[in-house]
Amino acid sequence: MCGRFVQAAAPGAYVKPLSLQGELFGEVTDTPIERYNVAPSTGVWVLTSEDGGVRSQALRWGWEPHWAKGGKPPAINARAETLWTSKFWAAARHHRLIVPADGWYEWVAAEGKQPYYIHAADKTPLYLAAIGLFPTQTRAQQDDDGFAIVTGAADAGLLDIHDRRPLVLQPAGVAEWLDNATPAERIEEIVARAGLTAEAFSWYRVGKAVGNVKNQGHSLIAAAD
């Protein structure tokens, strides 16, 4: 995880359950995003950390340090286990953002690359913790802006789907993740222990049309026969 996800609700609907601190910069509309097959390298609506508040903006999914360009494609996931030790993340790990989502997809190789859709058991929005580089009040947009979703080892039943899972935060924990004043030690603790566990999610098989990034629409998250 995570290679594709769903961001279908309106930005306003994602923001409403949150207790954000300070000012909310940028536009937050009530128009549904309606993206049922969000793919890497595309622009995604996110909430980024900002001195004095939180910023709403679009940001490219994928990030790499400038010295790594020209090798592998930009990373779309950041492993929690190496987030603090790998030099790859040195420039990005202290710049945090949240990727609101309705759910994400995983493919099970043992079932002939059968896709599954994973979502909150209570059907509430998901808040995926991420890191990256992005524009702020004091930093202009740059070519290397982008983000990667933080992932950890899967637990319980999710192991049957994939051995990795995104770090999904409780709505009450989003403000702390986005607050630039949160101590580094607390952020490390959140990465290690604060993600929602398997019991918070439900999952089911969906059709293989999701495998084509050109396909969109609510039908992609319909249960397969």
Q: Which residues are catalytic?
A: 2, 106
| Cα-Cα-Cα-Cα dihedral sign, residues 155, 160, 163, 165 | negative
**Neighbouring-strand partners of residue 148:** 131
Report which of 8, 202, 30 is spatially closest to residue 116, judged by C-alpha positions: 202
Contact 70, 93 (CB under 8 A): no
DSSP string for residues in 71-114:
SSPPBSEEEGGGTTT-GGGTTTTTSEEEEEESEEEEEEGGGTSE
Report which of 184, 170, 67, 171 is spatially closest to residue 131, judged by C-alpha positions: 184
Amino acid identity of residue 93, one-letter, is R
